[in-house]
Amino acid sequence: MPVTFSIAFVAGVTPTKWTRIWESRRPDVPLEVFRTTPEDQEAVLRDNRADVSLVRLPINEEGLSLIALYNEIPVVVVAKDHFVADADSVVVADLVDEHLLQDPDDVPEWRDVAVEIRDGSRRALPAMRDWDEIMEQVAGGVGIVIVPHSVARLYSRKDIVSRPIEDTAESRIALAWRTVDTTEDVEEFIGIVRGRTRDSSRTNAALPGDEPVKKEKKTAKAKAAAKAVRAAAAAAKPPAPRKAQSAGRTRNTPSPNAGKRRGGR
């Protein structure tokens, strides 16, 4: 039985485009793809349940390698009849009187100005097992949540709406794996995520934050070749004529007709 390659992804991330490429390039290595929660997106790497994990930062990076992929805008999710539904976007100041149905530390911009935090009136959260139940509470007008746009889209329903928040930090998505287990399969998946073609060499794969080695070598060769061409062209070019030779008479050279004019007087 062939060994599988395991890909974990946090809610909101869509790895389909990458898994399709993998299946076309590596049909000999079957995939196992599963969704994680923010709480176990890192744990699935450390306990070897996943070879790579598409995570939402921050996480504990000790012993892990990461490649940043993209950022997501945050949105506030409210009941359909909430005043926010009439706005194109909001700022945190518009939400200071709201009840947040999640850990306030998840949204420090809101936590630092929220009335229920400042005056101690924040009440305990209702029992909610998953995001479906959280959105049920939102739809019922119990409170709001502030989440990445992809999460709001994943759990969207007709009785809730989401609007962008202009002054909260974006959510960062990254690919993570155990540094000690940077196998050929991991490098292959890194290459797929980074857009390398089928013919690109995995041995020349760039490390996180670096440009591919192969590309750097080509660039250096191209520069050296261009420099050699310029040097050869300069050596083959005849020297430009001196101005004194082409200008005819100069200030210090007497005119050849000067003696004739004097002798003719």
CA angle (193, 147, 63) in 5-degree steps: 45
Query: Do 185 and 63 lie in a common domain?
Result: yes
CA atoms of 55 and 43, how far apart (whole Å): 11
Residue with the two structure tokens 């930090």: 169
In a domain, residue 62? The reply is yes
- Which residues of 156-242 form beta strands (DSSP E)? 160-164, 171-178
Query: Do 81 and 142 lie in a common domain?
Result: yes
Query: Do 94 and 157 lie in a common domain?
Result: yes
Q: What digits encode the pLDDT tens for the residues 32-42?
A: 999 998 889 99
Which among 120, 157, 153 has a CA at the least distance from the CA of 137? 157
Q: What digits encode the pLDDT tens for the residues 190-230?
A: 999 999 877 664 444 444 444 333 333 444 544 555 555 45
The DSSP bridge pattern shows strands 52-56 and 5-10 to be parallel
Q: What confidence score (pLDDT) does residue 205 get?
A: 43
Q: Give how many domains the chain has, as a whole number.
A: 3
The percent of residues above 70 in pLDDT, for the chain, comes to 74
Query: Do 194 and 65 lie in a common domain?
Result: yes
CA atoms of 145 and 107, how far apart (whole Å): 9
More confident position, 258 or 142 = 142
Q: What digits encode the pLDDT tens for the residues 58-102?
A: 999 999 999 999 999 999 999 999 999 999 999 999 999 999 999
Which among 213, 210, 209, 183 has a CA at the least distance from the CA of 200? 213
Q: What confidence score (pLDDT) does residue 248 get?
A: 42
Which among 77, 81, 111 has a CA at the least distance from the CA of 96? 111
The strand pairing partners of 148, in sequence order, are 74
Q: What confidence score (pLDDT) does residue 236 get?
A: 52
Q: What confidence score (pLDDT) does residue 240 get?
A: 52
Query: Do 97 and 137 lie in a common domain?
Result: yes
Q: CB atoms < 10 A from the CB of 177, how many?
A: 21
The mean pLDDT value of the chain amounts to: 83
**Domain ranges, residue 90:** 74-164
Which among 224, 94, 88, 252 has a CA at the least distance from the CA of 168? 94
Q: What digits encode the pLDDT tens for the residues 161-189?
A: 999 999 999 999 999 999 999 999 999 99
The strand pairing partners of 145, in sequence order, are 77
Query: Do 199 and 222 lie in a common domain?
Result: no
Lookup: tokens for 239: 């020297």
Query: Do 97 and 55 lie in a common domain?
Result: no
Checking if the pLDDT of 43 tops 90, the result is yes
Query: Do 64 and 127 lie in a common domain?
Result: no
In a domain, residue 65? The reply is yes
Q: What digits encode the pLDDT tens for the residues 235-258?
A: 555 555 554 444 444 344 444 444
Query: Do 57 and 186 lie in a common domain?
Result: yes
Last residue of a domain, one of 102, 137, 164: 164
In a domain, residue 257? The reply is no
The strand pairing partners of 161, in sequence order, are 78
Sign of torsion, CA 33 39 42 47? negative
**Domain harbouring 52, CATH code:** 3.40.190.10
113 neighbors 96 (Cβ within 8 angstroms): yes
Q: What confidence score (pLDDT) does residue 256 get?
A: 47
CA atoms of 116 and 185, how far apart (whole Å): 49
In a domain, residue 248? The reply is no
Q: Average pLDDT in the 123-128 region?
A: 91
Lookup: tokens for 40: 């176990």
Q: Average pLDDT in the 117-129 region?
A: 93
Q: What confidence score (pLDDT) does residue 9 get?
A: 97
Query: Do 66 and 195 lie in a common domain?
Result: yes
In a domain, residue 220? The reply is yes
In a domain, residue 110? The reply is yes
Lookup: tokens for 214: 């192969």
In a domain, residue 246? The reply is no
In a domain, residue 135? The reply is yes
What is the DSSP code string of 67-133? Answer: EEEEEE-EEEEEETTSGGGG-S-B-GGGGTTSPBSS-GGG-HHHHTT-HHHHSS-PPPPPP--SHHH
